[in-house]
Structure 1
Amino acid sequence: MDCFRGRRLSAALIAGCLAAVVLGYVVLHLAPAAQAGDQGPVALFSFAGLIRRGEKGDRVRYLQEALRACGYEVSLDGVFGPMTEGAVKKFQRENGLYADGIVGPQTIRELSKLYYRANPPDKHTVRSGETLSTIAGRYGVSVETLAKINKLADPDMVYVGQVLMISTPQEPPAQEPPAPPTDLPPKPPPFPIPDRRVCLTFDDGPDLNTTRPILAILRQYGVKATFFLVGERVLRHPELAREIAQEGHVIGVHGFEHKSLSGLSAAEVRRDLKEARDAITQVTGVSPYLYRPPFGQLDQTQVAEASKLGMRVTMWTNIGGADLGAASAEDVTARTVSAATDGGILMLHEGLQYTVEALPSLIEALARLGYGFLNPSK
């Protein structure tokens, strides 16, 4: 080099020439020129000069944006003042650099690594003078990682304009299974071996507020029941009807609109029962074979038309049901238990909160009396 010509050179001159050589190498090899359109910290990371206190402009603002993105408190005013200098010194100390507050190539390189770890880019276009090693260093990843992501047989062979993936697509976080309900009763205590049987039945569903809690309680106690569903409500809440069927409960017909069919013509009764049956079958895949008349109002026309559609009438043995007009959950339990008989059919209703609240104690009280619960499908 020209600066080394001559016999007598001062130490300062030699040091200056060496610094120029090092800086030139950094500019050519370690910090490729910014591409057109680079903005923000990305433009800063391609800069190979020095930034120090007193400077102003976009480059200082890019520095401030990078520092803030990495968790350092600094104003975004484009002025390299005391606050920015303090943030730079703190960054340098925490990353093993000489804390002089001056931003040079080494500080920029370490800042870029931290920035890209916090804000990983998807891609990088290879520029003149870059190698896989310098690209890996820029983004704070290993050469092996870049080679693996991009399926490079020879890590030394990259070319200008080549687009490299920097990070792999993130898999969506696995969804945790929903937490089990917290309002279920405790695991039931051991009960006597049942020597009598009752059948639990529920009318008027499916109901948006009570069907799922009822199903959860029945599941907790291992009890199967019969649900007499209203066709129109099945079409309104098909997911609830399907859940009833999937839990293994028997489904019966309770009319299409829950209106009294007593006194109607055979054609009118047949149309209502068929619409209800078809709605249940369409939604659940189950063909119901039981029919319970709305309000318990039954006549021979309904019996005959239900039979023609393959359904038999099923009433109940606890007169009027146990939960209609009940004053409390305790009242529901007392009424139901007092009406229980061997082979009895106990009627309850969806849509009543007292029924949900009473169900655990009702099941336990019947079990203590030696009642088992008949699976109606058998």
Structure 2
Amino acid sequence: MFLGSGRAWRAAAVLLPAGAVAAHIGPAATWLPGVRLPLFPGLSGTGHRRHVALTFDDGPDPDSTPRFLDALDGLGIRATFFVLGEHVVDHPALARETVRRGHELGVHGWTHDRPWRPALTRTAEELDRSVRAVYDITGCRPRWYRPPYGILTTSRWRAARRAGLRTVLWSAWGRDWTADATPASVRARIAADLRGGGTVLLHDSDRHSAPGCWHAALGALPALVQDCHEAGLSVGPLHEHIPPPPRPTAPSGTLTT
């Protein structure tokens, strides 16, 4: 969960005119909490003031996602899982099981890539492909989008709007993707920023982060939910938290898996 090396940004700047780079990368400033939280509350996932939205990124992962589903069942909590299209296609039964247990799926992209250069057509095609994958496999059309690494570019923003998706980042995260994350550190990091109406970011997979780091997020869940309940806050998915965009029609085309 970082914007990436300065070397990559400089390489993009060399290859493209400065104006094109600025127009493409400009929205990425919303990754910064100091910009996003006060200026773009909707993008931060600000919702019902007595509710906290619980969200997970990077799945579905057969090694770890089932453990999160079991833990959430035990806690009586439902959540929003931002899934990668390629993983949904690879593990369709797990995607269906996630929905069957009452959770909702948002789109995290087709792959977990960094958008160094403008690529509106490719970005739109891959996002549409991800939407179709979720719909074809689960029968539920996603409503939410969170870009990989939380990096929102002009291409990604336009593609999400065209696909009928609302982009939602987060207001609190546990830094659970790091090698030194523990249940206690994840809980403390979230607690520092947790407020009613906030959206929490965790990860149910380590495929794009430190190996085994999902154990920290999983271990923090009971205490996190307890903290919310003790503060008088309910916990649930985004559709209980933010008025969703109008439900679009089924995506065109059929995905072959």
- TM-score relative to the length of structure 1: 0.46
1:363 is matched with 225
**CA pair 255-375 structure 1, distance change in 2 beyond 3 A:** closer
**Contact (CA 8 Å) 2:160, 2:167: kept in 1 or not?**
yes
Q: What secondary structure is seen at the aligned counterpart in 1 of 2:238?
A: coil
**Contact (CA 8 Å) 2:228, 2:235: kept in 1 or not?**
no
2:235 is matched with 373
**Contact (CA 8 Å) 1:224, 1:374: kept in 2 or not?**
yes
CA shift digits 1:318-364 (9 cap, x unpaired)? 25x43122531111111122221111010000121111121112211
* Distance of 1:297 and 1:226 partners within structure 2: 19
Q: Does 1:323 find its partner at 2:185? A: no
* Distance of 2:181 and 2:123 partners within structure 1: 35
2:192 is matched with 338
1:279 is matched with 133
* Distance of 1:288 and 1:263 partners within structure 2: 26
1:311 is matched with 165
Q: How far 1:224 moved relative to its partner?
A: 1.4
1:249 is matched with 103
2:155 alignment partner, one of 284, 292, 301:
301
**Contact (CA 8 Å) 2:176, 2:216: kept in 1 or not?**
yes
* Distance of 1:304 and 1:263 partners within structure 2: 15
* Distance of 2:78 and 2:194 partners within structure 1: 17
**Contact (CA 8 Å) 1:262, 1:302: kept in 2 or not?**
no
Q: What secondary structure is seen at the aligned counterpart in 1 of 2:53?
A: strand
* Distance of 1:345 and 1:368 partners within structure 2: 17
Runs of 4+ in 1 over 4 A off after TM superposition: none
Amino acid at match of 1:316: W
Q: What secondary structure is seen at the aligned counterpart in 2 of 1:362?
A: helix
Q: How far 1:365 moved relative to its partner?
A: 2.1
1:239 is matched with 93
Note the 1:1-80 alignment, pairs <5 A: none
2:66 alignment partner, one of 209, 212, 215:
212
**Contact (CA 8 Å) 2:108, 2:148: kept in 1 or not?**
yes
2:216 is matched with 354
1:95 is matched with none
Q: Percent identity?
A: 35
**Contact (CA 8 Å) 1:226, 1:252: kept in 2 or not?**
yes
Q: How far 1:227 moved relative to its partner?
A: 0.3
**Contact (CA 8 Å) 1:261, 1:293: kept in 2 or not?**
no
Q: How far 1:262 moved relative to its partner?
A: 5.1
Q: Point out the more displaced range, 226-235 or 260-269.
A: 260-269
- TM-score relative to the length of structure 2: 0.67
**Contact (CA 8 Å) 1:337, 1:366: kept in 2 or not?**
no
Q: Does 1:198 find its partner at 2:52? A: yes
Q: How far 1:276 moved relative to its partner?
A: 1.1
Q: How far 1:264 moved relative to its partner?
A: 2.8
**Contact (CA 8 Å) 1:262, 1:297: kept in 2 or not?**
no
* Distance of 1:337 and 1:225 partners within structure 2: 18
2:34 is matched with none
Q: What secondary structure is seen at the aligned counterpart in 2 of 1:264?
A: coil
Note the 1:68-107 alignment, pairs <5 A: none
**CA pair 262-310 structure 1, distance change in 2 beyond 3 A:** farther
Q: How far 1:374 moved relative to its partner?
A: 3.7
* Distance of 2:137 and 2:101 partners within structure 1: 15
Q: What secondary structure is seen at the aligned counterpart in 2 of 1:316?
A: coil
* Distance of 1:208 and 1:374 partners within structure 2: 23
Give unpaired runs (5+ residues) of structure 2: 1-48, 206-213, 241-257
**Contact (CA 8 Å) 2:55, 2:237: kept in 1 or not?**
no
Amino acid at match of 1:302: R
Give unpaired runs (5+ residues) of structure 1: 1-194
CA shift digits 1:33-91 (9 cap, x unpaired)? xxxxxxxxxxxxxxxxxxxxxxxxxxxxxxxxxxxxxxxxxxxxxxxxxxxxxxxxxxx
Q: What secondary structure is seen at the aligned counterpart in 2 of 1:315?
A: coil
* Distance of 2:142 and 2:201 partners within structure 1: 18
Amino acid at match of 1:298: L
Aligned residues: 184
* Distance of 1:342 and 1:361 partners within structure 2: 16
Q: What secondary structure is seen at the aligned counterpart in 2 of 1:268?
A: helix
Larger radius of gyration: 1
